[in-house]
Structure 1
Amino acid sequence: MYACRRKDATGAGKVPQQKIAGRYELLEELSHGGMGDVWRGYDAVLDRPVAVKLIRQQAISSPQLAEEFAKRFRREARITARIQHAGVPQVYDAVLDDSLERLFLVMELVDGVPLSAYVQPGRPLPVAWAAAVAAQVATVLSHAHVVPAIHRDLKPGNILVARDGTVKVLDFGIAAILRTDVTKLTATGTPIGTYQYMSPEQVRGGRITPQTDLYALGCILHELLSGQLLFSADSEYVLMYQHVNADPTPLRELRADVPPALEELVLLLLRKAPESRPADIQDVYERLRPFLPPPGAAPAPAGAGPTGVPDPTGLFRNPYAPRSRAQAGPRVPGTDGQPPAPPAPAAVPGAFREEIKEAYAHSDALLEEERFAQAAEVLGEIIEPAARALGSESRQVLELRTQRAAIRLLGGDYRAALPEFDALADAYGRIHGPTSEHARACRAQAARCRAELGQVTEALAALQGILGVVRSVDGDVSEEAVELRRDIGMLMLAQGRAADAWHILEPLHEDLCVVYRPDDEMTAEIAEALALIRLDLDGSAS
């Protein structure tokens, strides 16, 4: 469930054309695993991106198991959906196709980095980083185990660290859906799980309990702190034998700076008998607490942890911190402080012209269905290659970016639209002049975004400045001037400045009655606002 480029259409990763349950589109494959594949998808009904987990067809070995499988699938999917925790991606839907041979879990799409990317041979994590990951996983398991839901396949590949450092545990319920103790869904009869992290009781086919997840967490914590797997062997059977019979190497023999209490906790988690492990995951969290950074602590110095991955300690160093301020929004070529690319030739290659045309057509079709987020995303997929081919400030690229920003504004995504409109206003200002029509339009749209985000004073100042330019160029009743006057008056009214709003809207209403008609939609809107102002002013403005 992490972002990646769309694969080409030569084979692997080819996008299926069908919709699931008539609403979920599969757009690109994100990961390919033993139990199934994860796709970035889109919910056409709610207009939002989703992750879709496809369970492999061979998970069902015979038609006779289909009905039993369907019952278990629905039950486990419901259990997973009951885990209410920020560290568990939400389950939105559970779909079995008509043949009962394929199943799909539709889930929250998370942008992050798999924990497996943190594990580098010979480069163990800082103690605080490893403890922060384990502690966050422990909080997730504490919510899951009370449901009760046991993960059964906890491993670095099923743990994601989001961009803000939040740890997400993926695939709850998948191993339970496919487990062999009742349904025997695997053709070979081997237990479900990943051998490097499989508990002794799983190897033996014994009863699964919350302590099974504790053993897997011990394997993960050992790996994060030592930089190597708990056990390694060429054969899966040797690995299984080691989990049942071999003693783990104490961490301090592999890394001298591991605190003795942390080594003791890992050895406790890795005990062969489930009842010998900690009584519950809450006990594990308490034992991890001394190794977590306290609130207000500075981050580890650069180079202490792996580069290019989120810091999992941030949630402990800055608990309940507000969301980070928006920086520049999505990166747009030519707007990241680097000089824009040289102007491209005026001619657009025929094939590329068709791709742009198709992107507009696809986006327009989505707009007809009010699927604003996906319509903007479709244009976004062509903007970067267009910028490379044609120049980041070519007419075609600026038009694409302007349309994407307008769609975001229309769909209510003001936070994403604002930096785009600001960047576009600057670009049009460089090309056509700061008071040009395109630059003015983008600055006005940016101001409208600011107003929607609560930055009303800044929005008013910007709109009044633009109106002054428009009046000097096109007069007071051009379409652009009328819209600006309306927006300024309405913002003043929203601020409680009824008298100021009256002085803007009353002459606007008179102009609209002349230029348009009294029954025009905007004329009626202004008339209604004036009626409200009269009530506020007790007739003093009339």
Structure 2
Amino acid sequence: MPPEPISGRYELLEELDHGGMGDVWRGYDTVLDRPVAVKLLRQASLAAAPHLAEEFAKRFKREARITARIQHPGVPQVYDAVLDASLERLFLVMELVDGVSLARYVNPACPLPIGWAAAVAAQVATVLSHAHQVPVIHRDLKPSNILVARDGTVKVLDFGIAAILRTDVTKLTATGTPIGTYQYMAPEQVRGGTITPQTDLYALGCVLHELLSGRLLFTAGDEFGLMYQHVSEDPLPLRQLRPEVPQALEGLVLCLLGKAPEERPADTQEVYERLLPFLPLPGDEPAVNEGQRPSGVPDPTALYRKPYAPRAREQAPAADRPTPVLPQPVPVPAQLREDIRAARDQADLLMMEDRFSQAVDVLGEVIEPAARALGPENRAVLGLRRQRAAVRLLGGDYRAARPEFDTLADAYARIAGPTSEQARACRAQAARCRAELGMVTDALAQLTEVLDIVRAVDSDASEEAVELRHNIGMLLLAQGRTAEAREVLEPLYQDVVLVSGPEDEMAVEIAEALAVIELGFDDPGPGA
């Protein structure tokens, strides 16, 4: 480690942890006069490909900003990132948490008291509820990424790091290696398919099973065996390992471990509600008769003596009402025309700096007066709204972008026809937002409808059709529908190679997905 302060301000004082992803140090911020945690990420070298350093820096900034929207005490904040001049070391500067790794709570000889395990899972679910609302997906939830603070508060670490280190741009992991830890990796991660909030729920099921049983969910001796087990083998029910586990809690764990994302609970709120019967009530004393309480570690049930709940679900939006159209829109006034041009230019500049929320605000300030003056379905107004929806999509605000793209698609269908390029593009973007929010079945149906239209008006090998086929294939793969995914991806690979060559980024990704399918994780095992 360098003896001098990192970036001239962060001093390294004491090594706290030495793990697979990186070393964690207790540090000190000399500028803001506060203790910090500093993580040196392993395999973060870009020295062999320095042209990727700028893209990596942008990715970190984007992911850190999205992660910063998670407003919850169970999420330690990331303060800074330093990629040193050699491009060989990435230091993440984070909030310092005084706590104990959940990995220390796992003991095969003495499984946790049921209330303790339920309290950890409920607190993690609470954290995930706030993250998924953003939405941010953890992608690598496991005991070593969970701390229990001295007051019993559970802290979930490393949000955003798995996304920063994903392979398609930075190549920071071995080629073809999925992001995640094999013992806690959901089937869709093994296949290389689309990641959704339900991916985190599967990992939570693995963690809860381990806390209650004292052993890993699957124990194959190598990575291939673990991946096969997660995709194809049923988990051993908890009550066979520990008969005193309540049947309802065993049922929740098995539900969390559903092979397909949509077999799992609908959201983290459902998980929390199903855990409530196993949590202490306000004023309860620690339980002593349900298992030996570990010594020397914080009690995660303490928080529930003054309980808090995850944020409430969003209310279902009211049905969209047709927006009244002004019968005779007035001509564009000169000043409004200038305001629109200035807003577009300013939003573009802000987007170049990844300042997405500010770009949304700038466009919003001109959209309302433009709609009043020109009519809500004037082409200039729709263009502004489409730009705002695109900014939200790029900034990761899928929850706000989805209804805007839906409304725009309907408007363009009325103005230019349902098969118009604008209507198709907006419907496809709305579907991509649905996929990011975990609404995979709806996303597949909508993308398929758009692809049918594109095939009717254009070539199956057009740029638009190729992108849609790619989206559909990867979503099918995430759902475990590997035979259907193969039918989509094999001819798509041939088309992409014919047009762009085998080194094209999409061609490489499809080839890797097909290679995973060939491994046969979804095929019945011997004797099945």
Shorter-chain TM-score above 0.5:
yes
Question: Per-residue deviation at 1:58?
Answer: 4.4
Distance 1:149 1:32 in 2: 26
Kindly provide the amino acid, as one letter, of the partner of residue 292 in structure 2: A
Q: Which runs of 5+ in 2 are unaligned?
A: 309-528
Kindly provide the amino acid, as one letter, of the partner of residue 152 in structure 1: R
Q: Helix, strand or coil: the match of 2:204?
A: helix
User: Are residue 289 (structure 1) and residue 276 (structure 2) matched?
Assistant: yes
Kindly provide the amino acid, as one letter, of the partner of residue 160 in structure 1: L
Question: Per-residue deviation at 1:98?
Answer: 3.2
1:66–1:101: 8 Å Cα contact kept in structure 2?
Answer: no
Q: Which residue in the other structure is 2:102 paired with?
A: 115
Distance 2:167 2:132 in 1: 20
Q: Which residue in the other structure is 2:254 paired with?
A: 267
Per-residue deviation, residues 3-38 of structure 1 (Å, max 9, x unmatched): xxxxxxxxxxxx631212211111121112222211
User: Are residue 258 (structure 1) and residue 248 (structure 2) matched?
Assistant: no
Distance 1:232 1:181 in 2: 29
Distance 1:158 1:39 in 2: 15
Question: Per-residue deviation at 1:42?
Answer: 0.4
Distance 2:168 2:221 in 1: 27
Q: Which residue in the other structure is 1:494 paired with?
A: none
Q: Which residue in the other structure is 2:18 paired with?
A: 32
Q: 1:88 to 1:58 in 2, by over 3 A?
A: closer
Alignment partner of 2:113 out of 126, 137, 157: 126
Matches within 5 A, 1:368-379: none
Q: Helix, strand or coil: the match of 1:25?
A: strand
Matches within 5 A, 1:87-166: 87-166=74-153
Q: Helix, strand or coil: the match of 2:32?
A: coil
Q: Helix, strand or coil: the match of 1:193?
A: coil
Alignment partner of 1:207 out of 177, 180, 194: 194
Q: 1:236 to 1:57 in 2, by over 3 A?
A: closer
Where relative contact order (Cα < 8 A, 6+ residues apart) is larger, the structure is 2
Matches within 5 A, 1:354-393: none
Q: Helix, strand or coil: the match of 2:167?
A: coil
Question: Per-residue deviation at 1:71?
Answer: 1.4
User: Are residue 219 (structure 1) and residue 210 (structure 2) matched?
Assistant: no
Q: Helix, strand or coil: the match of 1:121?
A: coil
Question: Per-residue deviation at 1:151?
Answer: 0.6
Q: Scaled by the length of structure 1, what TM-score is found?
A: 0.55
User: Are residue 310 (structure 1) and residue 298 (structure 2) matched?
Assistant: yes
Kindly provide the amino acid, as one letter, of the partner of residue 235 in structure 1: D
Per-residue deviation, residues 74-112 of structure 1 (Å, max 9, x unmatched): 111222222111101122222232344432221111111
2:56–2:170: 8 Å Cα contact kept in structure 1?
Answer: yes
Question: Per-residue deviation at 1:180?
Answer: 2.1
Q: Scaled by the length of structure 2, what TM-score is found?
A: 0.56
Alignment partner of 1:48 out of 28, 34, 48: 34
Q: Which residue in the other structure is 1:193 paired with?
A: 180
Distance 1:58 1:64 in 2: 14
Per-residue deviation, residues 172-227 of structure 1 (Å, max 9, x unmatched): 11111111245433133311211110111111111111111000000000001111
Runs of 4+ residues over 3 Å off in structure 1 = 57-61, 98-101, 181-184
2:44–2:90: 8 Å Cα contact kept in structure 1?
Answer: no
Distance 1:245 1:319 in 2: 38
Question: Per-residue deviation at 1:236?
Answer: 1.1
Q: 1:292 to 1:301 in 2, by over 3 A?
A: same
Kindly provide the amino acid, as one letter, of the partner of residue 37 in structure 2: A
Per-residue deviation, residues 262-307 of structure 1 (Å, max 9, x unmatched): 1111000001111111111111111111111111111122972111
Kindly provide the amino acid, as one letter, of the partner of residue 68 in structure 2: A
Q: 1:96 to 1:59 in 2, by over 3 A?
A: closer
Alignment partner of 2:226 out of 239, 242, 254: 239
Aligned length: 306
Distance 1:70 1:91 in 2: 15
Distance 2:234 2:49 in 1: 40
Distance 1:18 1:192 in 2: 32
Q: 1:103 to 1:29 in 2, by over 3 A?
A: same
| Larger Cα-atom Rg | 1
Kindly provide the amino acid, as one letter, of the partner of residue 294 in structure 2: P
2:153–2:303: 8 Å Cα contact kept in structure 1?
Answer: yes
Amino-acid identity (%) = 80
Q: Which runs of 5+ in 1 are unaligned?
A: 1-14, 321-542
Worse-superposed segment, 25-34 or 196-205: 25-34
1:77–1:94: 8 Å Cα contact kept in structure 2?
Answer: no
Q: Helix, strand or coil: the match of 2:277?
A: helix
